[in-house]
Structure 1
Amino acid sequence: MTTDATPARSSSEKPTTLITGGSRGIGAAIAERLAAQGHDLVLTYRNRLDEAEQVAETCRALGARVTLLQVDLADLAAASRVVPDAITAAGGRLTGLVNNAGITGRIGGFLDAPLEETEHVFALNVFAPIVLTRAAIRHMSTAHGGAGGAIVNISSGAATSGAAHTYIPYAMSKAALDALTLGAAREFAAEGVRVNTVSPGTTFTEIHADAGRPNAPEERASRIPFGRAGYPHEIAGAVAYLLSPEASYTTGASIRVSGGS
């Protein structure tokens, strides 16, 4: 499903950013922050059309052109169509990609994690970003006729902690995403494409409830130097910086937004 609306302020000269999983949580906060900073947006969502439309309306009120794309990114054939569809929706020009959509799998011990669930985690957290990043680079790269662009991967503090007793396969998937950032940043820097990572710590989103532990942010607060979990808007600021001209010399970087943990 695709929906679109174009306010008067929209212009082909504005940056246009594709955000996966842009209908709630960190993705929604990123969308609203970028809209306020003059970006037009393409947001993907898997279900919950009402939430996606609410985010879109908020961003449109801030002056953004917003297109919604319904897609299950774990379906890699469907994922392969997202960037071309986003480019079409953006009038042929996509300047940014935020690989935000992801899942943790059920919280629990490593030996209890079903292999089928781990395969799903990797399909959504690793293989889909590979598919989207390749397509975005082909569009943005000056070696392929593009005008350059920026990609931000939303990783996790779990990538470096290992997340023992919690979700080791998720931590593994985010470590793979970090490797994608570093490798792509170095390979395509000379072609005008910057690739960076933002690594949130525990954040107040529904991802914990989806994993079976809705109170996880409160339970972990005592182990965080700040004494609390983060909020989505605190993650969004780092993403906005990495997509901005102020970060024009920043690639291959990882900004950890984790309250000191």
Structure 2
Amino acid sequence: MTPNSIAIVTGSSRGIGRQTALMLSEQGYKVGVNFIQDRVSAQSLINDIDCCGGQGFLLPGDMSDEKTICDVFEQADKHGLLRVLVNNVGIVAQQSSLLGMDSQRIHKIIDTNLIGPMLCCQQAVKRMMEQNPKDKRCIINISSIASKTGSPNEYVDYAASKGGLDSFTIGLAKEVAKYGIRVNGVRPGTVDTDIHRLGGEPERAKSIAKIIPMQRPGTAHEVGKTVAWLASDEASYMTGTIIDVAGGL
């Protein structure tokens, strides 16, 4: 790996994104830490990366906004060559049946969880295509096991956005394989992170453990390890693959 290889992890100030950023730093990447509001947590992650001998840099911005996305990637260009993009940003709203959802909510979910990652991939592919085909380059999209279960009476909008992301991952992988760019996905199951608080169930991860075959929620560390593995040479012949990290769901 060249010294100026960078990785961008969207939504990386906390949870799965944070663990992923730490592990990519351990692989030798300069890591772009993207966040919207929580600068304190983002800076804390940068400090942790520095303490472990790595390098990180802040990339503030809302990754559902097209202009902001362009600006973020231009800022990242100042730090080196983009080798890895992890589309980790994802939001969920309060639990509801479809009939209880308004169009504003649905648009926000789709814009953030699907259109935003697609636009980020556009920016990444433009840059990666110009690089030496022998250099490893990859994109990893963080989906959800909800794309398979559908999340009825909870958040079918979220599930639909992640199902769309799965289809996009497979299609893009086939488009860019000829350039040596790999595109894969990870479907976390119930993981003990802040996203459940946004859905109105802060204790959800623990409360539904009994329906998970492994009888426990996952951890951000376990998901981050999977993402880091997909970014490594050990996964060099994998593209268009989506890995479930869901305890058997």
The two structures share one fold, judged by TM-score above 0.5: yes
Corresponding position of 1:101: 89
Matched residues, number: 248
Give the deviation of 1:179 after TM superposition: 1.0
Give the deviation of 1:108 after TM superposition: 2.0
Structure 1 residue ranges, 4+ long, deviating more than 3 angstroms after superposition: 144-148
Q: Residues of 1 paired with 2:67 and 2:102: CA distance?
A: 24
Give the deviation of 1:75 after TM superposition: 2.1
Question: How do 1:198-237 and structure 2 match up within 5 A?
Answer: 198-237=186-225
Change (3 A) 1:247 1:14: farther
Give the deviation of 1:12 after TM superposition: 4.6
Question: How do 1:1-261 and structure 2 match up within 5 A?
Answer: 12-13=2-3, 15-88=5-78, 90-91=79-80, 93-141=81-129, 147=135, 149-261=137-249
Tell me, what secondary structure is at the counterpart of 1:44? strand
Instruction: List runs of 5+ in structure 2 lacking aligned partners.
Output: none
Tell me, what secondary structure is at the counterpart of 2:111? helix
Q: 1:156–1:198: 8 Å Cα contact kept in structure 2?
A: yes
Give the deviation of 1:15 after TM superposition: 3.6
Give the deviation of 1:14 after TM superposition: 5.5
Q: Residues of 2 paired with 1:61 and 1:23: CA distance?
A: 16
Tell me, what secondary structure is at the counterpart of 2:32? strand
Q: Root-mean-square deviation (CA), in Å?
A: 1.5
Change (3 A) 1:155 1:115: same
Instruction: List runs of 5+ in structure 1 lacking aligned partners.
Output: 1-10
Identical-residue share of aligned pairs (%):
34
Give the deviation of 1:113 after TM superposition: 1.6
Tell me, what secondary structure is at the counterpart of 2:208? helix
Give the deviation of 1:223 after TM superposition: 0.5
Corresponding position of 1:6: none
Q: Which amino acid counterpart does residue 23 of structure 2 have in structure 1?
A: R
Q: Which amino acid counterpart does residue 17 of structure 2 have in structure 1?
A: G
Q: Which amino acid counterpart does residue 195 of structure 1 have in structure 2?
A: V
Q: TM-score, normalised by structure 1?
A: 0.91
Q: Which amino acid counterpart does residue 40 of structure 2 have in structure 1?
A: D
Tell me, what secondary structure is at the counterpart of 2:125? helix
Tell me, what secondary structure is at the counterpart of 1:173? helix
Q: Residues of 2 paired with 1:152 and 1:109: CA distance?
A: 30
Q: Residues of 1 paired with 2:136 and 2:242: CA distance?
A: 20
Tell me, what secondary structure is at the counterpart of 1:81? helix
Q: Residues of 1 paired with 2:168 and 2:77: CA distance?
A: 22
Tell me, what secondary structure is at the counterpart of 1:169? helix
